[in-house]
Amino acid sequence: MVSFFEILSPSFLLFPALLGSAILAFVCPLVGAHLMLRHRVFLGLTLPQVAACGVAFTFWISHAVGLSHGTGGERLLAMVGSLVFTLVGMGLLAYLDRHATGSPESRLAAAYAFASALTILFVVFNPAGELEILNLLKGEVISLSKDELKLLAIVYGVVYIGLVLFRREFLLNSFDRDLSFLLTGGGVQWSFWLYVLCGFSIAIGVIMAGPLLVFGFMVLPPLAARALARGMSSFLTMSSLIGLFIAIFGFYLSVRLDLPLGPTDVAFGCVMIFAIYAIQLVVRKSRGATALLAGLIILGVGCAVQKAQAPLDMQALGQNPVWLVSVRNSSGADLRLPDNNPLRSLVEMAGKISSDYRPTVMDLLRGALKRELQQRSVSVSFPEERDARFQSAPVDAQTASAMARAANLSGWLLLCEIRRWHTDGRSPLRTWVEMRLVRIDSGVISWQTQIQKTTPLVGAVRLDEVSADATKEILREAFGS
Amino acid sequence: MAKAPALVTFRGANLGYEGAVVLQQVDLEIQPGDLIAIAGPNGSGKTTLFRTLLGFLPVLSGALNRNCALSEFGYVPQSSSLDANFPITAREVVEMGGYGRVKCYQGFPAGEKKRLDNVLNQVGLSHLAPRSFFSLSGGQRQRMLIARALMVGPKILILDEPLAGVDPESQKAIGDLLLKLNRDEGIAVFFSSHDLRMVRSVTSKVLRVDGGRVGWEEGPVADHPW
């Protein structure tokens, strides 16, 4: 199980994703804070949806003119669509703010509904690559490539520098537009530049991370900071720091609990806000209650921290053989590997399997387990070679040990179960594997582990390749490096 | 000795919004060192006159001449017009008056900090500077906004209803402060109010706005129900 400090290490596989998430979380709250001060927080919800609509529109048009999906220019097109729609949408809303009657909130709500509807329609119009479009719209910061990370860092760096350099002008313009006009010579120009910076951050953020995460980071940290800050400087600083905190701990929770990053970050951010307001409320009521609440939180955190699971101690196996039972697939997914899997060809050539047989992830994992144990001088065998009842994987440890005793096996049974093994071809492979080592004579489980991994598709484009990467990771955690 | 040029001059000016005239044929001169009040009922056009004077609204017809830059106008809005949800300290509000002189790449310079302390001392509220602006009383907020206007280094102070919504004690403190700034610093002061009796306690130079016309107030106070 990955530790908190492990995810902070640059050598951690998903470190680029953490970095991307942290960049978003540091800058988006600043943008959101300015929108909040101007009572335009719903712009942070509407514009990401408008950006998503731009992405869907671009894909539809590119398909209509014959550009195929899956090309390198796809991402660039999506960015152009996102940016153009965001800036045009923002300009239109600004124009209506100045010239139309009615409340700005109702206009933003209508724009949100319109953009959402158009997004769905554009996706429906496009018969090809619907899945890819939906993935792109959903956004997955966890699958950021190095180039995308660089682009994100550059755009958000510029936005951050702009917001910091002109913080006084933007804040004065938000707080007192009349004084801003007198002292800086233009009230409208500062609003314009602020909204341009917002537009760029939203358009690029939506492509990299999806509308949910962008809106979440824009709104939640400033909301939390608002409860704590008394002044503008502290409000802006706290917004960014709280965003960073949510990003890092949300990321850790996501990796640890095998949850999707966006919803985890947003849910964690909401919990933080409730906690901050609850603590504030309690502090106002009484100090005793504060101490009690703090105690409960510490207790809760203590309980929530899972004990690290130790790797399998090879010494404990002694000289007894290990019977490696067929890996059980409880994921509900068809885990057959692609047709031209090189793993298959050798056994096929040897005539051991029929030509229509396709190996599975379970075969891959079991083979890797066997090799790993053999390398550590453990005697490993497949039980079905002794007793045909082991052709199918037993349901639980008791049943397995009973079957083994009936088959006159002795030593250990190693049971392995795949709970999850999923990727949609763009997002990282998420895996959840459970292993149990069972004494055959007593049926007692002497070691067990649950391993959850998120393996990025860096350099691996096929299920067999990324599955092989994931298997290595799983074995490293199960047996120690 | 030649008379100093007027800071602001209106000549036959029609003022209003998008073609709708609110004040007609305004003729007015504000000289350096003047202390002028403008009084009239709510909705009579006091704020329209101020907003035109400060360049927020164009003159519909006639002439408006300013002999100082807009950045030399110290404007004090009604504190109720500011967003009470804004997380801001009193010190940060006053600091804003110096923003026009500070470059974007600078921190807040030491000279400006000294000036900030001085204006806070002038309004007698240094001790409240670290507090949240919107946690202050109406009178204290008004004095903080005057400090912000002084931070600009103004030739003329324009105050929109500075005495509205504050208790009598604060009204007196604000009135005294305006008198002091006018006499000791030589700053021209032009402020509005709908309370003519109160205005009389601060200055004898009173403009009356009513029925779309602006004129010098000469009659007894009792003539005006507002």
Alpha carbon distance A147, A28 (integer Å): 20
Residues A327 and A263 placed together within one structural domain of the fold: no
Instruction: Kindly report the average pLDDT of chain B as a whole number.
Output: 86
The answer to which of A64-78, A273-287, A293-307 has the lowest mean pLDDT is A293-307
Cβ under 8 Å to A: B residues 102-121: 102, 104-105
SS (H, E, C) A276-297: HHHHHHHHHHCHHHHHHHHHHH
In 3-state terms, what secondary structure has residue A463? helix
pLDDT tier at A385, thresholds 50, 70, 90: confident
Asked whether the beta carbons of residue B77 and residue A176 sit closer than 8 angstroms, the reply is yes
In 3-state terms, what secondary structure has residue A311? coil
End-to-end CA distance of chain A: 13
Residues A255 and A403 placed together within one structural domain of the fold: no
Identify which of A54, A106, A62 has the alpha carbon closest to the alpha carbon of residue A80: A54
Report yes or no: A266 and A213 within 8 Å, Cβ to Cβ: yes
Percent of chain A at pLDDT exceeding 70: 83
Residues of chain A neighbouring B93 (CB-CB closer than 8 A): 175
Report yes or no: B28 and B194 within 8 Å, Cβ to Cβ: no
Residue B220: pLDDT over 60: no
What length is written for chain B? 226
Show the DSSP H helices in A130-210 as ranges: 130-138, 146-165, 167-175, 177-184, 187-209
pLDDT tier at B221, thresholds 50, 70, 90: very low
Q: Report the residue of chain B nearest A233, measured CA to CA.
A: B88
Residues A218 and A246 placed together within one structural domain of the fold: yes
Residue A356: pLDDT over 70: no
Domain containing A366: what range?
314-479
The CATH number of whichever domain residue A256 belongs to comes to 1.10.3470.10
Planar angle of CA A182, B29, B48, nearest 5 degrees: 50
Identify which of B91, B56, B58 has the alpha carbon closest to the alpha carbon of residue B73: B56
**pLDDT tens digits, residue range B194-207?**
777 778 877 888 88
Residue A24: pLDDT over 90: yes
Q: Whose structure tokens read 């939390």?
A: A224
Q: Report the residue of chain A nearest B52, measured CA to CA.
A: A178
Residue A391: pLDDT over 60: yes
- The whole-number average pLDDT for the span A350-377 is 79
Residue A13: pLDDT over 90: no
Helical packing angle, A261-285 and A287-304, nearest 10°: 150
**pLDDT tens digits, residue range B111-147?**
999 999 999 998 888 999 999 999 998 889 999 999 9
Picking from A280, A304, A328, the residue at the C-terminal end of a domain is A304
- The whole-number average pLDDT for the span A227-249 is 91
Contacts with A373 (C-beta within 8 Å, 6 or more apart), sequence order? A322, A324, A380, A414, A479
Is residue B29 classed exposed, middle or buried when 0-12, 13-18 and 19+ CB atoms within 10 A define those classes? middle
Residues A12 and A56 placed together within one structural domain of the fold: yes
Alpha carbon distance B224, A212 (integer Å): 60
Alpha carbon distance A450, A414 (integer Å): 14
User: How many beta-carbon pairs below 8 A join chains A and B?
Assistant: 75
Say which residue, A433 or A296, is predicted with more confidence. A433
Residue A317: pLDDT over 90: no
In 3-state terms, what secondary structure has residue A356? coil
In 3-state terms, what secondary structure has residue A387? coil
Instruction: Choose the closest CB to B71 out of A165, A176, A183.
Output: A183
Contacts with A3 (C-beta within 8 Å, 6 or more apart), sequence order? A308
Residues A464 and A342 placed together within one structural domain of the fold: yes
Please give the torsion angle defined by the CA atoms of residues A333, A339, A343 and A345, in that order, rounded to the nearest 10 degrees.
150
Per-residue DSSP letter, B70 = G
Show the DSSP H helices in A321-462 as ranges: 342-349, 361-375, 397-406
pLDDT tier at A286, thresholds 50, 70, 90: low
- The whole-number average pLDDT for the span A197-209 is 86
How far away is chain A from the Cα of B104, in angstroms, using its nearest Cα? 5
**Phi/psi at B210 (5° precision):** -165, 145
CA distances from A433 to A257, A329, A341 (A): 13, 10, 22
Two tokens, residue A39: 């009572």
Residues of A334-358 as b/e, b for ≥16 C-beta within 10 angstroms?
Answer: ebbbeeebeebeeeeeeeeeeeeee
CA distances from A109 to A41, A103, A192 (A): 11, 10, 21
Identify which of A475, A429, A424, A422 has the alpha carbon closest to the alpha carbon of residue A451: A475
Residues A39 and A138 placed together within one structural domain of the fold: yes
CA distances from A376 to A317, A468, A472, B187 (A): 11, 20, 15, 90
Residues A210 and A319 placed together within one structural domain of the fold: no
Picking from A272, A304, A336, the residue at the C-terminal end of a domain is A304
Identify which of A146, A428, A7 has the alpha carbon closest to the alpha carbon of residue A259: A428
How far away is chain A from the Cα of B132, in angstroms, using its nearest Cα? 6
Asked whether the beta carbons of residue A165 and residue B100 sit closer than 8 angstroms, the reply is no
Alpha carbon distance B180, B161 (integer Å): 18
Say which residue, B72 or A70, is predicted with more confidence. B72
Two tokens, residue B137: 């009383």
Counting the structural domains of chain A, the total is: 2
Alpha carbon distance A269, A274 (integer Å): 9
For A48-133, list the strands marked E by DSSP: none
Q: Report the residue of chain B nearest A228, measured CA to CA.
A: B87
Contacts with B223 (C-beta within 8 Å, 6 or more apart), sequence order? none
The answer to which of A235-239, A326-330, A450-454 has the lowest mean pLDDT is A450-454
pLDDT recorded at residue A29? 94
**Phi/psi at B225 (5° precision):** -65, -25
Report yes or no: A317 and A378 within 8 Å, Cβ to Cβ: yes
Residues A69 and A109 placed together within one structural domain of the fold: yes
Asked whether the beta carbons of residue B86 and residue A233 sit closer than 8 angstroms, the reply is no
Q: Whose structure tokens read 């398909």?
A: A63
CB contact B89 to A (< 8 Å) = yes
Residues of chain A neighbouring B152 (CB-CB closer than 8 A): 182-183
CB contact B36 to A (< 8 Å) = no
pLDDT tier at B223, thresholds 50, 70, 90: very low
Identify which of A426, A419, A400 has the alpha carbon closest to the alpha carbon of residue A474: A419
Residue A347: pLDDT over 60: no
Instruction: Choose the closest CB to B86 out of A37, A166, A183.
Output: A37
Alpha carbon distance A16, A141 (integer Å): 9
**pLDDT tens digits, residue range A45-104?**
888 888 888 888 888 888 777 765 555 566 777 788 888 998 898 888 888 877 777 788
Report yes or no: A428 and A422 within 8 Å, Cβ to Cβ: no
pLDDT tier at B224, thresholds 50, 70, 90: very low
Two tokens, residue B93: 């509000």
Report yes or no: B21 and B212 within 8 Å, Cβ to Cβ: yes
How far away is chain A from the Cα of B19, in angstroms, using its nearest Cα? 16
Residues A386 and A300 placed together within one structural domain of the fold: no
Residue A270's H or E segment, with its range, is helix A261-285
Two tokens, residue A283: 């502090």
Asked whether the beta carbons of residue A183 and residue B87 sit closer than 8 angstroms, the reply is no
Residue type, A66: G
In 3-state terms, what secondary structure has residue A223? helix
Residues A279 and A372 placed together within one structural domain of the fold: no
Residue A23: pLDDT over 90: yes
The answer to which of A248-257, A456-465, A467-476 has the lowest mean pLDDT is A456-465
pTM for the structure as a whole: 0.70
Sign of the Cα torsion B188, B191, B196, B198 reads negative
Residue A103's H or E segment, with its range, is none
Picking from A304, A328, A358, the residue at the C-terminal end of a domain is A304
pLDDT recorded at residue A71? 54
Sign of the Cα torsion A382, A386, A392, A393 reads negative
CB contact B68 to A (< 8 Å) = no
Residues A139 and A18 placed together within one structural domain of the fold: yes
- A309, part of any domain: no
Alpha carbon distance A248, A144 (integer Å): 16
Gyration radius of chain B over CA positions: 18
Report yes or no: A93 and A43 within 8 Å, Cβ to Cβ: yes
The CATH number of whichever domain residue A386 belongs to comes to 3.40.50
CB contact A9 to B (< 8 Å) = no
Residue B35: pLDDT over 50: yes
Say which residue, A271 or B168, is predicted with more confidence. A271
Asked whether the beta carbons of residue A232 and residue B87 sit closer than 8 angstroms, the reply is yes
Residues A374 and A417 placed together within one structural domain of the fold: yes
Cα atoms in the Cβ-side hemisphere of radius 13 Å centred on B39: 24
CB contact A183 to B (< 8 Å) = yes
